[in-house]
């Protein structure tokens, strides 16, 4: 056994925070499937999850979640399940999958939010003139208000009635329109000369890397796309943890020649009935709008040092009005995007949503401090 200390460096509480322990740094010889995590003081066994981050069938991280008070320290005991057993499995709360029964969506969710985006067959249908297709690399929000998984149920309902998930039956629904917009967190390359955004088409490949009680991870690959006289290649890794409103986007880009262009992340303004605010020095941006008989906040969080500039673009062109944040050129960019819906009960007004985004930005700027206190002696675990 070994003990790990986690510390919250902030002078404010930190709810539902994922602790990711790199198995290489733990120097354990035990079979990873036998590892489990216990609160070293209370003795409570914590929900944990193993993650293979690169699809090589080797476990890379051991995850657990803690809620910490201001500047609180917590000790976690990493121990073994009894010989012949594996750590107790827990249901998948953070879940994602490819959805061939709805053309070829990719959908993901946790206990608070759900999203989807669109694949190559949906693009082909649109390009062939079919009204059944979808041509966009924007990100769709599925508004949920229950803690359990809804993806499989809603798609099963869709198979019987294509309007199924557009009606709220007490679990939530999909009123969020993406169309040709960036939806909630899609990206592109902005052209200042003609006020247009060059974007990719639908994803062409996917890889599901993790689902489980604490985290889902998957990657989307896009066909090369043109912007500012260059051909861009793009691979996007999306991570969503339990208890969070925001998905993490890790975007990897390259160009066929020249310098990397700055990427621009967008949030659709729909019919321009909402309000926009941003705090670039703090690293957060938000949109708040009416949606049917409720209200919806969407937002972006990122390291302030990544931000080049931001603006609100309003136009009469269909689906092209956005909150835009242009990021400094880099081959790897990280940002967070997501939503808060008033009917889910956690956010009652725009002030609640701004407070959440501001707190998430502070947590991003001050990550958990993790220290291994007592490494396990070599050869003691099997």
∠ CA 273-279-284, rounded to 5°: 80
Q: Which residue has the higher pLDDT, 140 or 29?
A: 140
| Cα 353 from Cα 344, distance rounded (Å) | 13
pLDDT for 88 equals: 65
For residues 247 and 238, is the Cβ–Cβ distance under 8 A? yes
Q: Supply the mean pLDDT for the chain.
A: 95
Q: Residue 85 pLDDT > 90, yes or no?
A: no
pLDDT for 379 equals: 40
What is the DSSP secondary structure assignment for residue 170, as one 8-state letter? S
CATH architecture of 2-88+368-372: Sandwich (2.60)
The per-residue pLDDT for range 301-321, each reduced to its tens digit, is 999 999 999 999 999 999 999
- 95-348 and 2-88+368-372 share a CATH fold: no
For residues 8-20, give the mean pLDDT: 97
Reported pTM:
0.95
Q: Residue 87 pLDDT > 70, yes or no?
A: no
Q: Which residue has the higher pLDDT, 350 or 82?
A: 350
Q: Residue 293 pLDDT > 70, yes or no?
A: yes
Determine what percent of the chain is predicted with pLDDT higher than 90.
91
Lowest mean pLDDT among 88-92, 157-161, 359-363: 88-92
pLDDT for 377 equals: 43
Q: Residue 181 pLDDT > 50, yes or no?
A: yes
Lowest mean pLDDT among 17-21, 129-133, 188-192: 129-133
pLDDT for 90 equals: 80
Domain locations in the chain?
2-88+368-372, 95-348
Length, in residues, of the chain: 382
For residues 2-29, give the mean pLDDT: 94
For residues 280-297, give the mean pLDDT: 99
For residues 218 and 225, is the Cβ–Cβ distance under 8 A? no
The per-residue pLDDT for range 186-232, each reduced to its tens digit, is 999 999 999 999 999 999 999 999 999 999 999 999 999 999 899 99
pLDDT for 31 equals: 87
- Sign of the Cα torsion 90, 93, 99, 101 reads positive
CATH architecture of 95-348: Distorted Sandwich (2.70)
For residues 253 and 260, is the Cβ–Cβ distance under 8 A? yes
Determine what percent of the chain is predicted with pLDDT higher than 70.
96
Q: Residue 251 pLDDT > 80, yes or no?
A: yes
pLDDT for 238 equals: 99
Q: Residue 65 pLDDT > 70, yes or no?
A: yes
- Residue 21's H or E segment, with its range, is strand 14-22
| Terminal C-alpha separation, the chain | 11
pLDDT for 25 equals: 87
pLDDT for 237 equals: 99
């Amino acid at each position: 056994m070994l003990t790990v200390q986690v510390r919250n460096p902030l002078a404010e509480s930190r709810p539902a925070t994922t602790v990711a322990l790199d198995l290489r740094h733990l120097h354990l010889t035990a079979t990873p499937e036998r590892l489990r995590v216990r609160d070293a003081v209370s003795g409570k066994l914590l929900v944990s999850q193993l993650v293979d981050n690169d699809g090589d069938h080797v476990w890379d991280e051991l995850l657990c979640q803690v809620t910490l008070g201001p500047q609180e320290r917590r000790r976690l005991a990493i121990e073994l399940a009894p010989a012949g057993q594996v750590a107790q499995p827990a249901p998948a709360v953070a879940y994602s999958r490819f959805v061939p029964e709805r053309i070829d969506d990719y959908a993901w969710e946790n206990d608070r939010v759900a999203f989807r985006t669109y694949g190559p067959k949906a693009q082909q249908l649109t390009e062939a003139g079919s009204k059944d297709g979808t041509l966009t690399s924007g990100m769709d929000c599925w508004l949920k208000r229950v803690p359990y998984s809804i993806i499989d149920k809603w798609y099963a309902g869709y198979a019987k009635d294509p309007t199924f998930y557009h009606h709220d039956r007490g679990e939530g629904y999909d009123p969020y329109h993406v169309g040709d917009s960036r939806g909630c967190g899609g990206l592109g390359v902005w052209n200042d000369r003609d006020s247009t955004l060059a974007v990719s088409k639908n994803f062409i490949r996917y890889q599901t890397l993790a689902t489980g009680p604490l985290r889902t991870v998957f990657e989307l690959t896009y066909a090369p796309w043109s912007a500012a006289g260059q051909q861009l290649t793009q691979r996007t890794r999306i991570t969503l943890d339990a208890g969070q409103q925001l998905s993490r986007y890790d975007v990897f880009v390259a160009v066929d020649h020249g310098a990397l262009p700055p990427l621009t992340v967008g949030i659709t303004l729909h019919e321009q009935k909402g309000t926009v605010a941003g705090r670039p020095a703090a690293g957060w941006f938000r949109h708040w709008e009416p949606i049917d008989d409720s209200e919806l906040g969407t937002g972006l969080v990122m390291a302030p040092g990544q931000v080049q500039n931001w603006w609100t673009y309003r136009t009469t062109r269909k689906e092209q009005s956005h909150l835009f944040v242009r990021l400094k050129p880099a081959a790897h960019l990280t940002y967070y995007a997501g939503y808060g819906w008033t009917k889910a009960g956690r956010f009652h007004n725009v002030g609640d949503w701004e407070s959440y985004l501001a707190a998430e930005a502070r947590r991003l700027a001050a990550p958990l401090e993790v220290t291994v206190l007592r490494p396990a002696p070599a050869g003691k675990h099997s």
